[in-house]
Amino acid sequence: MVDALKQARSVLRRGGILVDARPDSRVVAHVEHRGQRVATIRTQALELRDDAASDRAVATVKRERLLRRVRAGRLWHRMPFANRAEFDAYLREHLRFVHRGTWTAAWRAHQREWQDDPLDLVRAIRYEVLETVPER
């Protein structure tokens, strides 16, 4: 990924901006039912390793003074699902998340009555705005 960042930098003009935005696996995703958190969803081990490699690559180009941070932060991405069955189907096909959530006692106590209610998957997206550093 360092090579890809260097290549991206090479096509940016002086003072050009590169935005790095990707899922933040350091923050556990969760499921909400009517605004109440009812489950957590972990990131798969392979994805955690890929995310760590991406972090190292960005750190390398900053350390080499090819890019510098202008701003960084976190956004929350909310994904709505019509019901539990639609959510489970999404998880079965998704490569980033484990395929089963850890459900709260409140959900387990009401899962039959709530199974057809809408759910929201809420996950963190980390971003960093990077600027090219003028060559010396």
Task: Return the higher-pLDDT residue of 44 and 3.
Answer: 44
For the chain, give the number of residues: 136
- Statement: residue 3 has pLDDT above 90: no
56, 58, 61, 63: CA torsion to nearest 10? -60
Tokens (6 digits) for 68: 């510098």
Structure tokens at 61: 């180009």
For 90-106, what is the mean pLDDT? 94
- Across the chain, mean pLDDT equals 94
- pLDDT tens digits, residue range 78-94? 999 999 999 999 999 99
- pLDDT tens, position by position, 20-78: 999 999 999 999 999 999 999 999 999 999 999 999 999 999 999 999 999 999 999 99
Task: Give the C-alpha separation, 128 to 74, whole Å.
Answer: 9
Q: Model's pTM, two decimal places?
A: 0.86
Burial class (CB in 10 A: 0-12, 13-18, 19+), 61: buried
Instruction: Give the model's pLDDT for residue 120.
Output: 98
Q: How many CB atoms lie within 10 A of CB 102?
A: 13
Domain ranges, ordered by start, for the chain? 2-132
The predicted pLDDT at position 136 comes to 63
- Return the CA Rg of the chain: 19
